[in-house]
Amino acid sequence: MDNGTADGTPGAGGGAGAGGGGGDKAPCERGPVDPAGPYADGPWRNYFLILLDRIPTPIAVCRAHGEVLIANPAMAEQWGTAPGALRGRNLLDLFRPRAMAQIDRLTEALRLGRRSRYPVEVCWRAGTDGAEREGELTIDPVGDPSVNPPALLALLRVRESTPQPAPRGAASPVEARILALAAGGATTASIGTTLGLTVDGVNYHLTRLARRWRVQGRTALVARAYVLGVLSPDSWPPAPA
């Protein structure tokens, strides 16, 4: 499996979570794979991508050998980065399987054309605080049944026994950059363009911050960020502390 990116637009290639070692590429599938799958045509594609951005569960769509085509903000947050920064990476570079036998089982199932859900126990090092985390990736082959190998939908369930989220006063690197741009007067659209996020991706992070800090509105968020030391009081243009 390879690492992937989520920024609201389909990636150019790469594979999803099957395929043995940490990044061996399989032969090219026929034509590019659109992460919107059966919703790739017409307005449904945009609806699919908007929905993906809003889902709080970490999700990535990959090629059969693991290369990430698209990842949502919740998945990118595990590494403290923007969704677009995961595109083209391999899931096996991001996650360490607890048992390679689970990957071998998935690889064989894809070779035989089977389409079932396959759980893979994984661990990884969080990009926000460097803490070791554990969880389960559920790999689900998706897309047109006539296309082989299929694209893979990877959903991450983080174990509750892993370290708790950062304190309410903290912000991830991506959140701090969003707040800095907002403090400088940037619009939601321009923030998204700068950071490789969709408008919904930016709003996703702002909404999470507002809930965590118990404030309403962008002005209150920016003010709170300065009070909590997330933004530097001595910098202009605004910058993370």
Q: What is the DSSP letter of 228?
A: T
Amino acid residing at 16: A
Report, as an integer, the average pLDDT of 168-197: 89
Q: Mapping DSSP to helix (H, G, I), strand (E, B) and coil, where does residue 70 land?
A: strand
pTM, two decimals, is 0.54
Give the whole-angstrom CA distance, residue 86 versus residue 74: 12
Residue-averaged pLDDT of the chain: 78
> How remote is the C-alpha of 77 from its chain's centroid?
7
Max avg pLDDT among 17-26, 80-89, 127-136, 161-170: 80-89
pLDDT in tens, 8-22: 443 333 333 333 344
**Prior bond of 237 cis (ω within 30°):** yes
Q: Helix, strand or coil for residue 43?
A: coil
